Each structure stands twice: as C-alpha cells, then as structure tokens.
Chains A and B, each alone.
Chain A
C-alpha cells in the first residue's frame, strides 16, 4: 500500500506533471475541486492520472477503523472497489479537517469520527463521481444521467472506459456544490456484510505498519523523562554523574517547568538505562499528598450530604419523598482511579526542518493541540509547524489531552537542544501507569423509594467526583451552570422514564490529573443505573428485561431504540428460557454517544465456585452501520476493556504516589479471562453514531448483575477482585 502522509507529498506528485483530481473543501467549508493543494484546497479524495484513488483520512487510526470507514464512504459514492482505493492521513489543518462536532478543531474523540464525516466524505466522493461523469459525457457526447461509475469503470450510452481516462479533463472543472448522494438501494459497500475488509490489516500483520514508536530518523536523539513521583512535585536538583560515561548517554536537563528531568541518549535503551542512574531531588512542598483512601472518604462524604449542584429535579423534595416510601433501596457505589494503558506507550518525535520549522510525528489524536503546542514552545508560526499522523497503538482517550502533555514534553526537550537533531520522546510502561491523567474516582449514592406494589416513587441520585473538563479548554463545551456534563452523563440524560428523580453533583477538589477514559462518565453512571435496575428487579420480583421495558414506554425515539436493543439481546439469549445449566446471566443496556447497546454476560461459578466469563452477547443500534464488522470489533473490544478493568484494575495512591508500576500490578484482561462475544448490529437508517465507546458502559454492570444472579456478592465497589473470586 502506498501511503502519503504529507502535504509535500501531494505537491510533489502534482509537480511530476500528470494531472490529479482533488476534491475536498476550501477554508470556508465550500466543496471544491482542483489539481493541487496550493489552491487553498484540502482534499478528502485524490485521484491520480492513473486512476489511483486515495481517501485523505482526517481522523487518526487507533484501531477504531476510520482508515476503513472513511475510505468506504468515498469508494461507495465514487463507484470504485475497496481494492482500488488507498488511504493517507490528513496533515494538521484545523480549518479544513476539523471535527464538525468540535468546531475549528481537528481531533478524534467522543466516538464522533463516523458521525461527523458521514455526509462530508460521501459528498466529496459524489462530487468526484459527478465531475468524472461530466468529463466522460462531454467526450462521448452523452448525457451525464446515462452514465455511472461501477468498479472504477465509467459506463453507459454504449461506452465504457476506466475513470483514469477522464481525470485530466475532470480536474479542470469546478465541483458541484450539491452532488447527488447514492441512495441506500444503490449501496454496494455501506452496511453490507463481508463487502469490506479492514484497510489497515496488511501493515499490521507483517511488521511494516509505522507507529509513532517506530519513528527512526537519521541522527535522532531519544529522550526519556524522570517524571515527578507525585502531581505537583518539582525538580529541586539532580545528579547525573552516575550516567556519565555510559554508552550512548548524551546529557540530562531539567525541563523548564521543573516537572521532570529529560535524559537524552543515542538510543532508547541507553536513555532508559541512564535514567536509572540519575537521582533527582524533588521539592514536594506543593505536591499532592492525599492517598486514595482519603479520596475515597471525601467522595463518600460528598454523596452523603446535600449536593453542590442540583442538576435535575428537586433534591430535598425527592429525598423527603423517598423517606416516605413503603420500601427504600439505598446503595452506595465507588469507582477507583484507572489508567488507560494503551498498548503502545506514549511517544512522539520532533524533526527539525531545513527552513527552521518543525515536524511532529505522532499518533495524533488531537493534532490541533499538538500543532499549537509546538508553535508556542518552539516560538514558530503555525505555518512552520507540520503534524504527520502515523498509526497509534491504542488510546482509549489517553492520546487526546487538552494539555497535549507528551507533545509538550517533547517540545520542551527539543527546545533545550540546538535543534539540529530530531528528538524522540519515549514513555516506558511505568511512565504510563504512574503518569496521571486517570479516569477520575467517583462515588454515587442512590436511594430509590418504592410503593407497596413495587412502583418507583422517587429516585434520589447523588454523584461526587473530580471534574474532567473544568479548568481545561474543553470547559465551555461541557460545563453548564457549574455541572460538568461528563460527570453526570448517563444518569442526567438517561432515556428511562423514571418518576420523581433528582440528580445532584458535588465536585471533588483536584487530587490528581484526570482525563476521559473510554466512554468517560458512562464508565460509572451505566454501572450504577443498571445495577440499580437489577436491585429493583430483585426487590420487586419483576424480571430485569420486563422492568426495564416498563420504563421505556416509547415516548421518545431514544426509549424506542433502547427498548429495541433490549428486546434483541433478550431474543439472542432466549432470555425467558433462563441461563443454561451451571450458568448465570446478567443484563445491562445503556445509551451513550448517540448509540444504544444492550449486553448479556453469561458466567459460570459465582456462589461457591470462582467466576468465569463464558460468553457475552450484545445488540447495537448505532444508526447506519457503515462497516458492520468494524462495529462488531469495536463492541467486542469495548466489552473486553470494560470487563477487564471492572474485574481487577485500580490505581491507588499512597501519599499522592501511585502504587502501581506496570502490567504485573495493573494486570490487563487476558485471553483466558473471556469466552466468545456475539454482537448483533441493527440495520438502521438513522445517521451513524459512535461505536468506539458505547460497548464499554453496559459490560461491567451486566457482569455485576450476572454475579448477583448466580448467588454471589452484589458488587458496588470496583474493582470486583476484592470481593469476587475469578478463575
């Protein structure tokens, strides 16, 4: 596969003489076409004179599939096969390659890649098709309406020729502003089972795929950082004499913000070894020194009193209402800090350009922030900074950081050199596990009042946790009337028609750096909502599916769709017939990122025997399923991610310092932990919504419900490992 990743790449091929057809948008957002990028045009599709089609992918690839998905959209509209199209990552340009749901900002997150690109990429592909057809119609003296492109051939009116014959002529035309999009009955790729294989597979199975960790530039320096052991600790001094004379060690320098000591070496191993020999004195006077036990106590206190923010309903009235109920279910939940631990530790490389500019090589989830960070730290105008996106070895939210933390570290380290050599920053797994930006710890307390007949009378829901968004550049987007929506999402906006509900939030004072983690607030809110549903079901004797359906009366589209996936998963498992001999099943359903997912986890053990996850079933409604198998894969992965962490992961702090180091004490889900996963994808015609995150939220509560139904503990505090024995 040929991959062009830079703007320079386009210019070079344009300069080579042959015509190129580019279709994309101008800076003002209008669909346009041209022959080279110098014409204020950033393309989504590029067709070279030999007919080779390239989709320019504006979202990075962390495994979630945009190199396949956005390519599918172009191929569908244009009328080429998946074999006739390649992909290339877009350069950083927040005006053109912005995430339409984020504003003038290029980035991937919130499961938005397909949602915000669906129309845009189809339009670009359709415009290219119409231009090529117009060119063929002119040459053949035919009507454009008689012609179509199928498998790269333009045919109709008794003629047929490859689209490459018309690239030159089409490239001189102006783009239609409103091209006709192909109708669903014409689709050959979108939503078609087996029609599309992942485009990124070949380079990921033969070692050739270029991840950020694989950047090897001539003469590069490798930097590892001796990081502050606690948030807020500052370098007071350091002694590098132990590293002097070590092969490959170059130098050590304190970062200008005193957050760590940069260790420079000729190779990664030399840098890692030298770091071990350098001792750093830390000024702890402003460092965070709370332990996770203390954080837990503070959060529990936060849900036991009146909430700071009344997000929904009237807390005092609701509490009084619940107090007067015939029966009250009162449960407190706790969720620990979690690290993302993507498989590829964080890394990026800054390469000096001959003109004094700089290139950032990164598995760039938020290229705009990386771009701005380099511009500021290196004191370069934006035009002199280039971001080249390469493959990312997972992220789960970690590579998307409003502080651009690791880009910033690399920029600082590069700025302290004479800027003649590329500088590659490498984090080890220990840096990653101990490096902060955790999923914040959260506590919930829910008191549900029931009538004698088991009807819900009131639901007093109190949440406490550290806000992810406050104090970041994302604050405006997410915080309203003091409430960070990401702290309450999944409760405040639940589709369930719950009578007499109040939702309150108390912020927890910053204890460590926190960040969104695959499915953000839904990581804890779904767990609480869906555990409560089963607790009500246990109390009232109403079947878990029937209970949930009774709260989804179909008065809103969300209720209808949520009920739809619930019924579907009940069908898949033959829910009413009960679990097979020796097994128990738990269920959960949740709405997040526009999508609806219901899951059933089937376990063996639970009461006396250790628990084993034997099988998981999921039903997904995410709008038009562009690539059904990519969706299934994302749901499978989201389930595994949710279950693994719920089972056994937590970051604990002792006097502000993380107790965990690496995978042996932050043990990942293993192949032996989980049986098969069966995913049913709805053939919906709604606009496509996210799939990267929505598989995660229902997985842990479905497991908790299965364990309870097997006669085991009702787990209200994660990780489960402290209360449940797993195989």
Chain B
C-alpha cells in the first residue's frame, strides 16, 4: 500500500506492506543505499537511522510505525552540525576500513553526542556497544567521537 514517509526533511511516497522493515523501504524502494544491511535482527547496528532524533535499528523498525515521524539517514549527515563534525573527525583519524559499518557508527555517534556532548570512553563504549565493526576500528571510533566532541565545542 502507499504510504508517506518523511526522510531527511522530504516527504516521500512509497509502496510498502505492513510489516516491511524501514531498512528495505529506504534501500530498495527509495534506493538510498547509505543505510546498510548487516544482520536484519538488530544485532549489528549497520542499519541505524534516526527516528525523531533517536537512533533506531531500521531492520527492526516497521514502516507503519514511522509514518509521520522525522526519519534521518546518513545521506543527511553532511548537512547536520553534529554529523559534519563526526565526519571531520572520522577523516582526520582515518577511522574507516571496509566502511560497511560506518554509516551506522556515525548515526549512533550522532545520537550519543546529541544527548551527551562530552562522553567519556566508558560512556562511548556503553552507548556504541550495539554497533559492531568486524574490521575492529573500535579504538578509532572511540577517539573519533571524542574528537568530534572537541570540534563541536569549538
């Protein structure tokens, strides 16, 4: 059935049955492929998007539950103050390896910094726990979040 979704500030019309994960609507219907599929069971964080500012696993978020909500994906992060700071930090520290988890890492990091502008290493670990990186870029992610916090502080 036809639904309206608000993604990155734009209203988009999609065809999706009830029970369809938001992930597949974004990737297959809207062809926005920055949001990744890693596990489908909310165990890796590769599919993280923001729903009304909160990081959510889009693989376990059903399309009918987010109609009318503000959905934000990695594609909008360059235009976001926190997102841009994270991207700058990620560039300075060369955080990425294969890169496949990094959209999700950045979306989670943005969620963290929005609620805690100066997280400690332990707070980063606790918040980012669900974002797996098989390339194990973890220490750079930790340093990247702290660097982004510094950039945001100005």
Binding site for B on A (CB under 8 A): 61-65, 197-198, 200-211, 213-214, 216, 222, 247, 267-269, 272, 341-345, 391-396, 428-429, 629-630, 633-634, 636-637, 639-641, 644, 662-664, 668-672, 674-677
* Contact indicator A636/B28 (Cβ below 8 Å): no
For the complex formed, measure the closest distance between the CB of A652 and the CB atoms of chain B, giving whole angstroms. Answer: 19
Chain B binding surface SS class: loop
User: Across chains A and B, which 4 residue pairs bring their CB atoms closest together, nearest first?
Assistant: A207-B34, A640-B136, A393-B100, A204-B99
A337 to B124, CA, bound (A): 32
* Contact indicator A269/B125 (Cβ below 8 Å): no
* Contact indicator A396/B134 (Cβ below 8 Å): yes
Given A268-B24, A671-B129, CB of A247 within 8 Å of CB of B17: yes
A485 to B137, CA, bound (A): 31
For the complex formed, measure the closest distance between the CB of B127 and the CB atoms of chain A, giving whole angstroms. Answer: 9
With a 10 A CB-CB cut-off, give which of B34, B95, B99, B133 has the most chain A CB atoms. Answer: B99
Pick the contact of B97: A63, A206, A341, A662 (CB < 8 A): A63
Residues of A within 8 A of B135 (CB): 63, 343, 394, 637, 640-641
Residues of A within 8 A of B101 (CB): 343, 393
B78 within 8 A of A: yes
Residues of A within 8 A of B139 (CB): 636, 674-677
* Contact indicator A644/B100 (Cβ below 8 Å): no
Given A343-B38, A343-B133, A345-B37, CB of A205 within 8 Å of CB of B138: no
Within 8 A of A (CB), among B81-97: 86-87, 90-91, 94-97
Residues of B within 8 A of A392 (CB): 98
For the complex formed, measure the closest distance between the CB of B64 and the CB atoms of chain A, giving whole angstroms. Answer: 14
* Contact indicator A343/B98 (Cβ below 8 Å): yes
* Contact indicator A633/B137 (Cβ below 8 Å): yes
B67 within 8 A of A: no
* Contact indicator B98/A207 (Cβ below 8 Å): no
Count: A-B pairs, CB below 8 Å: 184
* Contact indicator B96/A63 (Cβ below 8 Å): yes
A204 to B100, CA, bound (A): 7
Residues of A within 8 A of B128 (CB): 671
* Contact indicator A207/B141 (Cβ below 8 Å): no
Residues of A within 8 A of B36 (CB): 211, 213, 343-344, 393
Residues of A within 8 A of B99 (CB): 63, 200, 203-205, 209, 211, 391, 393
Within 8 A of A (CB), among B12-66: 17, 20-21, 24, 27-29, 31-41, 43-44, 46
With A214-B27, A428-B40 already in contact, 8 other A-B pairs whose C-beta atoms are closer than 8 Å: A204-B102, A205-B87, A342-B98, A343-B101, A636-B137, A637-B136, A640-B135, A671-B142
* Contact indicator A205/B98 (Cβ below 8 Å): no
* Contact indicator A207/B129 (Cβ below 8 Å): no
Residues of B within 8 A of A668 (CB): 44, 132, 134
Considering the complex, give the chain A residue whose CB is closest to the CB of B127.
Answer: A671
Residues of B within 8 A of A342 (CB): 98, 100, 134
